[in-house]
Amino acid sequence: MPDVELYVDPVCPYCWQTSKWLRQVQRLEGLDVGWRFISLQMVNEEVGYDGLPAQYPAVHAEGTRLLRVLAAARAHAGNEAVGVLYAAIGEELWERPAPPPGDFDAVLSAHANGFDVRPALVRVGLPELLAAAVEDPSHDAVLRSETEDALARAGADVGTPIVAFDPPDGPGFFGPVISDLPSDEDAVAYYRAIELLARWSGFAELKRSLRAVPDVQMLAAMRRDAA
């Protein structure tokens, strides 16, 4: 069993930042990370998209399509393949400049218009034919099961990222939601702090609503505007 699990949807930039932090800890401490799935499209089936940007349904649908490929990668080569493919997809989605004009609508539109996953598969040494999974709903049962598992472990009123301890059914939490990566020294300290809170059965939530734009290339213009 892994030490910690991260439930991911590739179209969430905060989830991407949290994954980079866990990779820091993985590199420094030998952390065993389990990569699990949570579909924001499935999360929002009940609550809908009222009051959210018009592109959100299409963006979340694209997240489900990419999750299908990650599920196919797991079936083909295991958990490690999910981790390396998610990293390659995330770098393409978030670590390159946004298309003009570089604002929120442009970023959403870029992610709603379809992502060619084949270069990411080739880059990490996985079969290019796995790209066909984007249109294969047979993977949706796995996505739905893990989405339901994520919400069972963290609560029904959350999104991504979700970090969970003590697999397969230990406590999970929404977050940490981070915008900037910590130093290597602090990355490990923050992980230990969250792990400690997770093992306190009486602890439920620690939250503030202040949220900065993630420090990724795709959102750089938005980050500058918010400064």
pLDDT in tens, the chain (227 residues): 899 999 999 999 999 999 999 999 999 999 999 999 999 999 998 778 888 889 999 999 999 999 999 999 999 999 999 999 999 999 999 999 988 888 888 888 889 888 999 999 999 999 999 999 999 999 999 999 999 999 999 988 888 999 999 998 899 999 999 999 999 999 999 999 999 998 898 988 888 887 889 999 999 888 888 76
The pLDDT score that the predictor gives to residue 137 is: 97
Quote the distance between the C-alpha of residue 159 and its chain's center. 10
The pLDDT score that the predictor gives to residue 48 is: 81
The pLDDT score that the predictor gives to residue 52 is: 82
The pLDDT score that the predictor gives to residue 211 is: 81
Q: Which of 40, 44, 38, 41 is nearest to 6 (CA)?
A: 38
Distance CA 4, CA 42 (A): 23
Distance CA 150, CA 145 (A): 9
The two tokens of residue 113 are 């218009």
Percentage helix, strand, coil for the chain under 3-state DSSP, each rounded to 5: 55, 10, 35
The pLDDT score that the predictor gives to residue 223 is: 86
The two tokens of residue 23 are 């990779």
The pLDDT score that the predictor gives to residue 89 is: 97
- How far CA 212 is from CA of 10, 53, 81, 84, 146, in Å, comes to 19, 18, 31, 27, 28
The pLDDT score that the predictor gives to residue 63 is: 97
The pLDDT score that the predictor gives to residue 25 is: 97
Which runs of consecutive H residues, i.e. helices, occur in 30-55? 40-47
Q: Is 200 exposed, middle or buried (0-12, 13-18, 19+ CB in 10 A)?
A: exposed
* Architecture in CATH of 4-226: 3-Layer(aba) Sandwich (3.40)
The pLDDT score that the predictor gives to residue 215 is: 92
The pLDDT score that the predictor gives to residue 205 is: 84
